[in-house]
Homo-oligomer: A and B are copies of this chain.
Amino acid sequence: MSSSEFSIIDDFFTVKSTKGLPPILGVGDDCAVLDVPNDKQLAISTDTLVEGVHFLVNSEPQSLGHKVLAVNLSDLAAMGATPTWASLAITLPSINEEWLAAFSKGFFELAEKHSLHLVGGDTTQGPLSITITIMGLLQKHRRLTRSGAKVGDSIYVSGAIGNAGLGLLKSRSGVVDLNDHDVAAYVRPSPRVQLGQQLLGMASSCIDVSDGLAADLNHILQQSGVGATIQHQDLPLTDSVQQHMIDIADEVWPYSTGDDYELCFTLPSIVNIDSIDQRLEKKITKIGVIEEQAGLRIQAKSGELINFSKGYEHFNGK
C-alpha cells in the first residue's frame, strides 16, 4: 500500500458505523479480521464493473458508487443472506478527489442502508474498474440456491423487467435524468435483499436477474435439471417497456436485457404466496411453471409458443 493510497482510503473510505457487525480489525493493516458468529455461515461473492463495458464512460460517480455495491448486494439477495462486510478494489486513471468523494457517497449511502461495513480493499492506478467482494451471513444450512427447482413449482419474478435495459438505451442517447424511472432502474438499481431473506425456507430456487431473465432462469433450469414454460402475457412490464417493444417490433426484447437486479425464484405449489409480505419490497408476479421437458418455452396468450431464438442470440452474443 503506497502512501498516496493510504491517504485515499483514509479520506474517502474510512466510514465507521456501529450498525450490523463491525470487523474485529478493519482497514489499515495487512488484513481485516472478521468474526463469523458460531451459528452462521459466510456467503461470499465477487463482481467487477469495467468502464465502457458494464457502465458508460464518464458515468456519474455517485450513482456508480451505488450501482457497484447494488450489483454485489443482489448476489447476496439471491442466496437469502444478510449483508455484513465488503472489500472494495478500485482502479483509477488518476486521483480525482471530487470523483472519489461522490463515488464514496453513493457507496456508503447504500452500505449504511444495509448495515454493511467496508473492511478493506485496494486502490491502484489504471483504466477505471471496480471489484467488490461482498460477504453476508446465513443460518447454517439455510440458503437459496439455483439447483432446487422441482416440476410443478411456480416461477416468480419481483418488480418489473426490461426497465434497466431501456434505461441503458436512454443513457446512451444522453438522457441521464434520475427522475426517469427507466434511467433510475439502470443507474441506481435496488437489490432485493429483504425479499431474498423472506424467501428462505420457502423458495426452492432463486437467482438475481443480472444477465437477462431468460439467461438467468436458464441457469436455474440447468442446475435443477428441469425445464419451464413462461406465460408471455404475465410478464411484469411497465408502459415504457411495452411501448419500446412496439417501437422496435420485438416482443421478446425484455427477456434478454440485463441489469434488472430483480429476483427470479421458484415456489412449491404448497407455499401460500400471501405468506410473503409483499409490502416490504416490490410486488412479485407469477410468470410460469417448472416442467419436466428441458429448455425454456415462452407461450403466447393464444397458446402458441413464441419463437425465441432471437432472445437467445441477444444473450449468447453478450
Interface residues of A (CB under 8 A from B): 1-4, 24-25, 28-36, 38, 41-54, 75-76, 78-79, 81, 85, 87-89, 91, 119-122, 124-127, 129, 131, 133, 136, 138, 140, 143-147, 206-208, 210-211, 215, 219, 223, 315-316, 318
Given contacts A2-B215, A91-B129, 4 further A-B contacts (CB under 8 A): A28-B146, A28-B223, A33-B143, A89-B89
B31 & A79 in contact (Cβ 8 Å cutoff): yes
Cβ–Cβ < 8 Å partners of A2 in chain B: 211, 215, 315, 318
Closest chain B CB from A131 CB (angstroms): 4
B residues in contact with A136, CB < 8 Å: 31
How many copies of this protein are present in the complex? 2
- A43→B49 CA distance, assembly (Å): 25
| B53–A32 touching, CB < 8 Å | no
Q: List 16 A-B contacts (CB under 8 A).
A: A2-B215, A29-B145, A29-B223, A30-B79, A31-B43, A31-B44, A31-B136, A32-B43, A34-B43, A35-B140, A46-B88, A46-B121, A47-B122, A50-B124, A51-B126, A131-B131
**CB–CB B122/A48 < 8 A:** yes
Using Cβ atoms and an 8 Å threshold, which residues of chain B touch A35?
Answer: 41-42, 140
**What CA separation (Å) do A318 and B1 show in the bound complex?**
10
Per the bound structure, the CA–CA distance linking A127 and B124 in Å amounts to 14
Contact B25 A143 (CB under 8 A): yes
